[in-house]
Chains A and B, each alone.
Chain A
Amino acid sequence: MTSANDPTAPAGVSQGAFDLSEVPVEHVAAMAALSGTEGSADADAAALRGPAPDALQAARIAVPMRRIVSGSYRGRAGLWRLDLRVDVDGVRPLRQVSGDFFRADGGTVTYTGSFAARNVNVAVTPEAVTITAVVSASFPNSCPRVRIIIPRRTILQAAGEADVQWLTNGGQAGTRYLCLWESRYFRTVDLEEDVETGVTPFESYNTGALSSGGPARTLCLATAFIEAGIEMRLTGEPGTIATAPGGTWSNAELHAAMEAHFRHWANQPQWKVWLLHAREHDLGSSLAGIMFDQRGRQRQGCAVFYAAIAGTGATRRRDQLFTCMHELGHCFNLYHSFSKTFTTPPRPDRPDALSWMNYPQNFPGGQAAFWSSFPFQFDDPDTIHLRHGFRDNVIMGGNPFGEGAALEGLGYFAEPEQGGSRLALELRADRSFRLGEPVVVELKLSTRRAEGITVHRHLHPADGFVTIAIQKPGGGTVVHRPLIEHCIRPETVVLDADHPAIYDSAYIGCGEEGLAFGAPGLYRLRAVYLALDGSRVVSDTLELRVRGTHHDQDEAVADLLLDEQVGKLFTLLGSEGPEMASANARIERLVEEHRTHPLALYGELVQGYVRAKPFKLVLADEPVQVCQARPAEAVAMLDRVVDASTAPGKGLDSISLNQIFRRMIAALKTAGDDKGAVRIGKRMLETYRKRGLKPHVMAEIERQRDEALGGTGSA
């Protein structure tokens, strides 16, 4: 019988030689050289299976008692922190290096990206181990080559530092990190367990009790994960969850139980996981376990059901161990061995994998064949993922289940590892948007503390101190780059108990990146504010929905608005420039042909706004032309925009509406209609008083109204 995937290999062959002894780095380097795959891309099958036994014997070198160099290291260079993982010796060395980068800005530490390299070159001398590789990374990097030098130490000495030098393709030196040894493990996870009343949870199993494919040893969950290079720390004794006798669990109930009982549950990625030992799922006793956490921040919890696997006999203990490891493997974002083609990106299926992630009944030859060969481990590709997968593809609460691809701009959606800032940034949109509707978000910067803090007041992305990242429904991420940037001297303001927040709104529908919201679906947005002390204040993720079209008129209006020139017109809030002629024609059609459509107000907005003031046309080789203001027209149009925005959640957001009121006041003052200007000012205050705003916000609006009425007329 042959392997289902490899016509040259027999069925059931282990993807890697099973060996729990520590492999010296000299051995790994020699094996790589003998197999002829050193530095090649085709090394997995050959190098990990190793050369013929007699060649292997010839390569054995008498090695003094030296420390292994594999494990985790950590170093810093400037604002950056590197968490490095070296995997070239020790138990099941995989000849890989990987790492995660974090950026420290003030009190905030944020994950920014990961890298990994396979089949690394290893050169060994009595003094040092030198590892060289070309990495793949989840972020754009100008130095894709890395050289890592780790001094050899005996087991009686402290571990040596890893000297990490990044290099360009041409060999020029990039950043250098000196990384201190942290742990022999590649990752560390805290495991919290709870037990349903009446269930006796799994503790340990001796793998030699029944026929198996590896050496006999007693495994508990912690030791089974240690064999994969993962430290699983138990966070105390399991708690008990009291339930009614005979009840079963739905996925929703499991999720609720997790949020209630998992002491470390949080809405952010973290190396923490919850395992519930329960009696039975709604689906019945055929379901032995499930990773139920597939909403929000996923993969933080799983459950094992003992209805069909309870007991202390060897078979039952084996089933319990297998199910626990299998479900926890899902929490690390591992799919079934036979379903890898359904991950993102897809991987080859491995139906003959001897791994915790297979189904014994799906193995070629059935359960008996599986158990007689299974060495109670993850197979090598699964182990590589656990040890070296890009952080967000592995960490609980990271990428959704099954999604393993790195996203462009990944760092923007990373949770700060440490939130030390005294400021909080909120990104808001109080409703969903129609397709084609200009997407405007509100930003609020506030202080968490009563004592004053000086901040700059520039929340609009065009001022250069705030960045907004947009993750589209398909998963790609873009960073909003405003079409116009303001070069400003920062103005500061003190936020304190009396004046705790500042606000602004920003149209982000069109930027240098083009139209960002051109398709229906769920978008995720995040903003970053660069504070005066250099810290980065990161908002929570805003989920924003763009609704699809349901009527022909919706489609026609969306067709008119989804145009980059129209996007520019919205950015400018109108223009009489000849280069905007096509966009203005579209707006004209929107207003004339779709006057009653809810989105027509945006047409009146840009037309009314630009007509409120004179517009200077500066054309090459011609005298400056001035398009006279048309204040009556402008006010009539903007009045209709205000009418459409009076009810909360309709029309313009509050901050943009404020701008429109002040524009109307300015237009009327320019036209000499002071009474009209006062009337609009009164309407402005009445509109906002009905919204129940906080006193300091209302005070600021009154000040803005007064300034508009008594100022130069600019708004």
Chain B
Amino acid sequence: MSAATTDTAIAAPKSAPRERFSATPYLLNLPALLVIGTLLLVPLIMTLILSLHSFGMYTGVTDDISFKNYAEIIQDSYFHEIFLRTFRISLLTTLLCALIGAPEAYILHRMRAPWRSIFLLVMLGPLLISVVARTLGWAMLLGSTGVINQTLTGLGILSAPVQFMYTETGVIIALAHVLMPFMVISVWAALQRLDPQVENAAISLGASPFTVVRRVILPQIMPGILSGSIIVFALAASAFATPAIIGGRRLKVAATLAYDEFLSTLNWPLGAAIAVLLLVGNIIIIVGCNRLVERRYAQVFQ
């Protein structure tokens, strides 16, 4: 739900008079700083150090420091395949979310009073339902004896069931469902900033509805689509429960790989190295892409 926080970045209060140094704000922040700082920064630094240790079948985790784990991930084609798959799945999930979420947000935006809030609730509500329950639904729909296959073979459209489970297609469909609300939220927020008069002006000047969407609406909600895409991509790349259930044990992504290294193989240093790469990749994408979007659309944000 990181989507929402970018909108509420609070500007420094301008009314507060410039005073001499006061300890009050620091004292008020101290409890949260101590707790969050300890539980966040210390564990992350420890994970970074752990990723530099090595692991042996008989020695366990040893305290030496080297980049061996990173070198292994970079050189081994097994890891390449998994990271490439994670990237491909995230990219296609983002594309699917944008193609469904952005038009849907616009349709919601144009709806009349009661329907608008009802369907907004339908679109955003799943965000509050457990990811495991939602993914379970997709497992039931996509299975070889699942609802989709039974319906299609029953109607004679398919002669044999299509394999969705344990495939990238299945993971992408389920992930797109899980992450779609973030795209709708992001585009919806951009639509709220739209001035309806511009749209009316375009219509009164003789623009067709299609031209209005293409020339007036789309350029203005593009920042919303892009920031929604950043969030969806980052969440898809680090998603765990959905690829673990739909992809199974064989179709691994970066997150399920780290999980297996940690809890099955017990190679904690290698698992930590994968986690560090995942974290660094995530931060680069979120911070880097946000910068790009903000620079490209500086005039929209002003």
Do the two chains bind?
no
Which B residues have a C-beta under 8 Å from some C-beta of A? none
